[in-house]
Chain A
Amino acid sequence: MKKINRDNFNEWCFEFLEGNCTENQKKDFLSFLETYPEYTRELEYWEKSFVREPLPPVLSIEKQLLKNDRVHFRYWLFPAMLLLFLAGVWMLIKWQPQEKITLSVLSASPEKKLENTNSGTNPKDKITVSALQKSRASNSDSVKNTVQMPEPVYSNADSSLTLTAAPSPVSLQDSVPNAEALPEKIVLSNKQLRKIKKREFRLKQKSIREKRAQKFMKGNTPYVVPVNPNAF
């Protein structure tokens, strides 16, 4: 900046009031004012030319401008529903294996194994019955020496148990050492219950008929004409 004089006094005033002067320049400026006091009034006009205005009070439109901070209902509804759905699915997965156990015991073929069909997810549920077959063979002489008998076949389809064969003389509880692993509660559907009741009723009727026949025959066996005469 040029040295202060009468011609560039306004520029110096501007720089001084804007705060752009160094300490030496400030000293020069103040010493110039001391030398020429008539310029002090000019400096006062410069000072007055600065605009000073306080902030207005709160605007009436401020409330209109503000946005609602709260998260809208529709934003958390979908995640909440999704969370509930996932929780439901998890509960189903968690509880389903206990109900959906398919049990098939075929004692006539000792190589076959008793397996849980849903054991793909949980290896603990897999039951191997090769030991069962051995224990059966050693403990039960009747089973060992007899001709292959019709064995009970329990098959659980659609989370329920159905009895599909005649009852075996060897009960499952006797022959299976780790039978505790099997489910204790077997839920039967109404249809299956009706079937079992019908079967029981038929067996009962049959036994009554047999008793009557034996009473009538008095211990004698009847002669039955063979169906195929060539068999004679």
Chain B
Amino acid sequence: MITVREYNIAVKEFSRNIFRYVFKCLRDKEASEDVVQNCYLKLWEHRENVHPGKIKHWLFVTAHNTMLNYVRKNSKSSALPPDLHRIEPYIDSTSQFELKELIDQALDLLPQIQKTIVLLRDLEGYDYKEIGEILELSESQVKVYLFRGRQKLKTALKEFQNYYEKN
């Protein structure tokens, strides 16, 4: 059972984390805010069933599922590029190269599960077990997905770097 005070603390402490995670996945501010709002709405509705010590975990699980639903609904209109090899890094000669933007683009090319695992690991610092609990995967599966995701990101960065040096 969550009290009003605990709920408000959860809003102040975790809302920005959830927004960062969702925004990294969706790249849409309004949609990310909607997902965050839905998460807290569901938390308030299910406050009697949520343990106060597991609010953050519960919020991330809900955020992940809500986000997946959102992606499924909008998959027809905005399909993600399926192949990593189609990377064509956008280079503006007038602006400086930004590693962050490149990583964001590379992240968008990852499969949803790998992207989620990378973000949960890097942004929130969850260990394999916690990520497995959120995504309903085993620790070994999480580790494999994380390795593949990181390897793809590294490859993308390497390709970009080579492209940048040639030009």
Contact = CB atoms under 8 A, between A and B. Distances in A.
Contact of B16 (A48, A51, A59, A68): A59
A45 B36 contact: no
A225 interface: no
Given A49-B103, A55-B17, A62 B12 contact: yes
A10 B155 CA distance: 11
B37 A49 contact: no
A55 B161 contact: no
Interface residues of A, number: 27
Contacts of B60: none
Given A67-B8, A67-B44, A49 B150 contact: yes
B20 A53 contact: yes
Contacts of B24: 51, 53
Given A45-B157, A50-B122, A59 B107 contact: no
B11 interface: yes
Q: Which interface class (under 10, 10 to 19, 20 to 34, 35 or more) fits B?
A: 35 or more
A14 B142 CA distance: 13
A64 B4 contact: no
Interface of A: 10-11, 14, 18, 42, 45-46, 48-53, 55-62, 64-69
Given A46-B150, A51-B118, A55-B16, 5 more contacts: A49-B150, A50-B150, A51-B24, A51-B107, A59-B19
Interface of B: 4-5, 7-8, 11-12, 15-17, 19-20, 23-24, 33, 36-37, 40, 44, 99-100, 103, 107, 118-119, 122-123, 146-147, 150-151, 153-154, 157-158, 161
